[in-house]
């Protein structure tokens, strides 16, 4: 017998109503799923982690991760499109950093979650 399923079929209308009331709007849930999908790539997680420590340019990130600048640029475009990273220009150099402190908190919580398991 599977322990993950109910042994009897009883529906608790009050619990369902409470959960439904607390459920975020579908658009919000979709944005959350997109964010986790974006963070579900190890290269992007490495980039985010590196940028959580200091701002870096594409060449710095490429050297750090052992990847081409083109590959890093592609990932940064995705992260920029979702407002996870931002850039600033200093002469001909473009430096990237995290755009929102919430991303740092998500990363820290994920690290804590994995380490505590």
At 33-76, the pLDDT tens digits run 999 999 999 999 999 999 999 999 999 999 999 999 999 999 99
pLDDT of residue 117: 93
Specify if 24 maps to a domain.
no
Specify if 73 maps to a domain.
yes
SS (H, E, C) the chain: CCCCCCCCCCCCHHHHHHHHHHCCCHHHHHHHHHHHHHCCCHHHHHHHHHHHHCCEEHHHHHHHHCCCHHHHHHHHHHHHHCCCEEEEEECCEEEEEECCHHHHHHHHHHHHHHHHC
Percentage of residues in the chain having pLDDT higher than 70:
95
The CATH number given to whatever domain includes residue 97 is 1.10.10.10
CA–CA dist 81, 95 (Å, integer): 16
Is a pLDDT exceeding 90 seen at residue 10? no
Domain span at residue 108?
Answer: 41-116
What's the total number of domains in the chain?
1
Specify if 16 maps to a domain.
no
Specify if 4 maps to a domain.
no
pLDDT tens-digit map of 21-38: 999 999 999 999 999 999
Specify if 70 maps to a domain.
yes
């Amino acid at each position: 017998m599977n322990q993950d399923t109910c042994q009897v079929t009883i529906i608790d209308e009050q619990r369902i109503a409470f959960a439904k009331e607390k459920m975020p709007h579908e658009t919000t849930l979709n944005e959350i799923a997109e964010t986790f999908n974006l963070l579900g790539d190890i290269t992007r997680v490495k980039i985010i982690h590196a940028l959580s420590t200091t701002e870096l340019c594409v060449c710095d990130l490429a050297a750090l991760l052992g990847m081409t600048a083109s590959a890093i640029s592609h990932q940064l475009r995705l992260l920029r499109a979702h407002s996870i990273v931002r850039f600033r220009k200093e002469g001909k150099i473009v430096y990237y950093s995290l755009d929102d402190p919430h991303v740092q908190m998500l990363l820290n919580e994920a690290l804590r979650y994995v380490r505590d398991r």
